[in-house]
Amino acid sequence: MIITILQILFVLAWIVLISYLAIRMKGQKEIVPLPDNYWEWLHDYVKFYRQLDESSQKRFEKRVEDFLSATRITGVNAEVEDLDRLLIAAAAIIPVFNIQDWQYINLKEVLLYPGAFNTDFDQQGYDRPVAGMVGTGALQFAMILTKWQLRQGFLSEQDTRNTAIHEFVHLIDKMDGTMDGVPEIILERKYVNTWRNLMDTTIARMKREGSDIDMYGATSPVEFFAVISEYFFERPDRLKANHPDLFAILQRIYKTGDTG
């Protein structure tokens, strides 16, 4: 009789221990699963994803999942919905999709504001007032986006704007230590001067004649690189037709197409 009770207790204790370990291991893995309707949302909102073939779409989904597992997304007076998380991750992955083993080591957290955010922060690093910013100083490893601009960037497929992509391009530019419009980390050395000259001449022409490129890009090479990258990913067809030289070098930077 005694033995039977001990046996039952032993079995119970074993079950408790196994359950505990299972829960613990699950917690440690920290893989953030994609939301249930991610496929539908990526199709509906992310043109870049829609145009990929099936195996590339799978690769894109995996990169999105990895990004979300590595990056905290925090709402500041804004509710972070699954769709917001998915769009932020899509904007992060689009520019680096063809770059092997890319990780945003200079980003830990994305802060999501509802609309216009107030200027309690250092003014430096702001984009087109209230659209977004990459952190400096205390916000070194953070990026600020606004929910409204984030969604707008993906909803309007006919324009050349996407604020979230713009901010991630700044992070790519910043990765080599300097934010100067030249992403040395992904642009082969032999093309650096060509790129610099092309930026300078285009900015000068924009100032002289105006342009179909967002004029915010003429404020500095840093902004030019971010603005022209938005154009490249939002309307590649139009950029290729209107600015073939810029299109060609952006293909080299982002390793798209087969320019060799």
By the criterion CB under 5 A, which residues form the site for Zn ion? 127, 223, 226
Which residue from 196, 63, 167 is spatially nearest to 106, judged by alpha carbons? Answer: 167
Q: Which is nearer to Zn ion, 127 or 214 (CB)?
A: 127
Q: Which is nearer to Zn ion, 194 or 219 (CB)?
A: 219
* Shortest distance in whole angstroms from residue 128 CB to Zn ion: 7
* Shortest distance in whole angstroms from residue 149 CB to Zn ion: 12
Q: Which is nearer to Zn ion, 83 or 145 (CB)?
A: 145
**DSSP-derived pairing of the beta strands 126-127 and 132-134:** antiparallel
Extract long-range pairs of 132-140: CB within 8 Å, 24+ residues apart: 132/163, 132/164, 132/166, 132/167, 133/167, 134/167, 134/170, 134/171, 134/174, 140/106
Which residue from 220, 94, 241, 76 is spatially nearest to 154, judged by alpha carbons? Answer: 94
Q: Is the dihedral of CA 179, 157, 254, 103 positive or negative?
A: positive
* Shortest distance in whole angstroms from residue 184 CB to Zn ion: 18
**Residue length, the chain?**
260
* Shortest distance in whole angstroms from residue 127 CB to Zn ion: 4
Q: Which is nearer to Zn ion, 83 or 146 (CB)?
A: 146
- Phi, psi of 144, deg, nearest 5: -110, 130
* Shortest distance in whole angstroms from residue 54 CB to Zn ion: 34
* Shortest distance in whole angstroms from residue 139 CB to Zn ion: 15
Q: Which is nearer to Zn ion, 83 or 181 (CB)?
A: 181
For residue 56, the tally of other CB atoms under 10 A from its CB is: 13
Q: Which amino acid is at 25?
A: M
Q: Which is nearer to Zn ion, 127 or 234 (CB)?
A: 127
Q: In Å, how far are 40, 143, 180, 254 from 222, measured between CA atoms?
A: 35, 16, 5, 16
Give the C-alpha separation, 43 to 33, whole Å: 18
* Shortest distance in whole angstroms from residue 166 CB to Zn ion: 6
Q: Which is nearer to Zn ion, 134 or 186 (CB)?
A: 134
Residue sitting closest to Zn ion (CB):
127
